[in-house]
Structure 1
Amino acid sequence: MVNNILIIGITGNGKSALASLLANNNEFKESGGGISKTDRFQVSKEPFEWKGKQYRLVDNIGFGDTGNISEEEIFLEIGEGIHAAKEGINQILFVFKGRFGPEQVEAFKKFKTFISESGITKFTTLVRTKFEEFRDPKKCEEDRQSLLSEDNKDLREIIDSCNGIIYINNPPIPEIDEDEADSDDEKEINEITRKKEVSRKIVLDHLAEKCQEPYKFGK
């Protein structure tokens, strides 16, 4: 059985970069700004395996796209992406960077309202990207508690109802001219590569544990 993973989030928060990291290839277009490079939902061409389980990724247009895409079109594409996974969705990854602010809360609420599924949060994991101390469990828990302590009822409800928060750091590998590269450049690339490898393992280990029977929309 293939586990279908739906990846959503606000444009520029690392959604497609996470898809590329998990798939371990560059088939997903990445955006560093406010305009999404994902103009349609995108399904990974081939499933990949982790700990004996098969996974397929469904990447989507980002919320809050500042290009010429309406909110209605964004949700239409998300709906198409969901229905493309005919077996159902096993887990949703809601990607965000920095604090889980009002923009993320609003996007999450709109997504939940759009699909009209009260139980979907139990199949949703929050993924915080660009968290420098992601390898320190104590720092990750301190951040989670900090989010829960914020005076924001909607945010607390989202965190409590979801399948947890996981922390990663998935920076891009800089393009360096091989003729001009030095030992410091090599060290930087090696460190970034290690961060990406550990981040990939964190997410996939979480999916291996949390992915059970698929969520059947509309059932």
Structure 2
Amino acid sequence: MTETRNILLIGRTGGGKSTLGNVLINKNNNFEEVFSESEGSVSETKNVKEEIAEIDLSKDGSQKVRYRIIDTIGLGDTKLTTQGVLIRLAEVAGRVKSEGLNHILFVTQGRFSKEEIEAYDLLSSVIFDKDVLKYTTIVRTNFPSFEDTNKCGNDRAALRIENADLAHILNLVNIIYVDNPPLEGRPKVVEMNKETREESRKRLLTYLAGCQGTYRPSNIDTLDERVENYRTNEQLLKEKMKELEKVRKEQEEKFRQEIVNLKEEQARELRENRIKFEDDIHKVKMESEANLQKTKIEMTETHRKAMDEHDRKNEEKIQGLKDNYEQQTKNIKDEGERQKRDFEERQRRNDDKISDLQKKLDEKGSSSNDKIIEMWQQQRADDKAQEAKKDAALLKLEEKKLEADKERQKEEKASRERMEKIARKNAA
């Protein structure tokens, strides 16, 4: 009698699970549809379905292996809750208990969805036990480069990196690659896609031939009870949110009552404080009227003394500026007289030199005229330079005088402004 090996297919809706089952069965050697294939969000497989496929191991057909392909409802079906999917999966419990499973093929198209991640947890924690991973293989479908070993290896590494939530599972199970394109379109395209499916089928059957042993979960008898008690993280979160909402409303009501009590207490304290404040105001007003005149007189006297002192300091400062200005003026005048005397003395000396040069010129005759003229021109140039220095010095003295005038005027203006400000303040 030929042994029958049970192969369980699991995967999300539209992920290629039923298509993979049809490829394994290869009905009439033409990949005719046995399990309804779906590309949408609603699973075509509403209940667990199964089909037998006999595979010849020898050319004459004397050795065969029988696979029972069990197609389950798709995970993430928009019309079923997770609880409903679990109930459908529990339908295989009887066969698993009596015959066991040869292997579980978890079909995916790439990055794992939330439903697929939850499905792995369901396999090991609810449906079966932790040993289920020893009999589980991930089938990466819709992978056109499934015959390229390097690309398959790169994708395996990427899957393990991108799906960190499943790292503890992906590091323990094998990942094989296939491509099962749809059999639609032009005849040539259909024939090419059939050839691709045939190559994928060979790889799957070769792999399954090496999967020996039968998996019989130790906790299969309590599957129905575990399914009944199972709650998804989302359901647990909703229940927790309901509890928190109840607590929030209770606290909100308590807080609202405390606010009401606090407002009443504040209103009472406000009334008492207002009465006390009015009494204090009356007392202060009576005391203030008696002290107001005294304070005013003291402030007036203090202000007058401050004004007198301020006037005295301003006068001293202005006198200091005047003295400084007069001293600077005297210094400038003295410096001008000194420079004038110096200039006159230099002019006298120059005249003497010119007279001497003229005498020498008369004595020596015309042979020395050029040299004497050159000396005379040099002397004139020196005189002009001295005259320019004198003019620059006089100009600098005039600038200092102007700066002193500006500083004095600025200080006088500031003093007047301060006096006017004080006067305005007193008037107010």
TM-score normalised per structure 1? 0.87
Among candidates 41, 65, 69, match of residue 48 of structure 2: 41
Name the structure 1 match of 2:205: 204
Distance (whole Å) between structure 2 residues aligned to residue 187 and residue 56 of structure 1: 32
Matched, 1:171 2:181: yes
Closer, same or farther in 2 for the Cα pair 1:106/1:191, shift >3 Å? Answer: same
Q: Which is worse superposed, 11-20 or 109-118?
A: 109-118
Distance (whole Å) between structure 1 residues aligned to residue 113 and residue 125 of structure 2: 18
Q: CA RMSD in A?
A: 1.7
- CA apart distance, 1:147: 1.8
Name the structure 2 match of 1:195: 196
Distance (whole Å) between structure 1 residues aligned to residue 8 and residue 179 of structure 2: 20
Closer, same or farther in 2 for the Cα pair 1:47/1:188, shift >3 Å? Answer: closer
Check conservation: 1:147, 1:156, Cα contact below 8 A: no
Check conservation: 2:50, 2:69, Cα contact below 8 A: yes
Describe the superposition over 1:49-74 as per-residue Cα deviations: whole angstroms up to 9, x where unpaired: 2534221111100111012x232221
- Letter of the 2:74 counterpart: G
- Letter of the 2:75 counterpart: F
Point out where structure 2 has 5 or more consecutive residues left out of the alignment.
Answer: 28-32, 58-63, 220-428
Name the structure 1 match of 2:171: 160
Matched, 1:65 2:77: yes
Q: Which is worse superposed, 35-44 or 97-106?
A: 97-106
Point out the structure with the larger strand share: 1
Name the structure 1 match of 2:218: 218
- Letter of the 2:17 counterpart: K
Name the structure 1 match of 2:8: 6
Name the structure 2 match of 1:128: 140
Distance (whole Å) between structure 1 residues aligned to residue 5 and residue 195 of structure 2: 26
Higher relative contact order (CA 8 A, sep 6+): 1
Matched, 1:20 2:22: yes
Describe the superposition over 1:168-188 as per-residue Cα deviations: whole angstroms up to 9, x where unpaired: 1111111x5xxxxxxxx3332
Q: Percent of pairs identical after alignment?
A: 37
- CA apart distance, 1:102: 4.0
- CA apart distance, 1:116: 4.3
Describe the superposition over 1:154-174 as per-residue Cα deviations: whole angstroms up to 9, x where unpaired: 322111122x00111111111
Q: For 1:49, what is the secondary structure of its paired residue?
A: strand
- CA apart distance, 1:84: 2.7
Alignment coverage as a number of residue pairs: 205
Name the structure 1 match of 2:103: 91
Structure 1: 4+ residue segments shifted above 3 A: none
Distance (whole Å) between structure 1 residues aligned to residue 213 and residue 128 of structure 2: 20
Q: For 2:55, what is the secondary structure of its paired residue?
A: strand
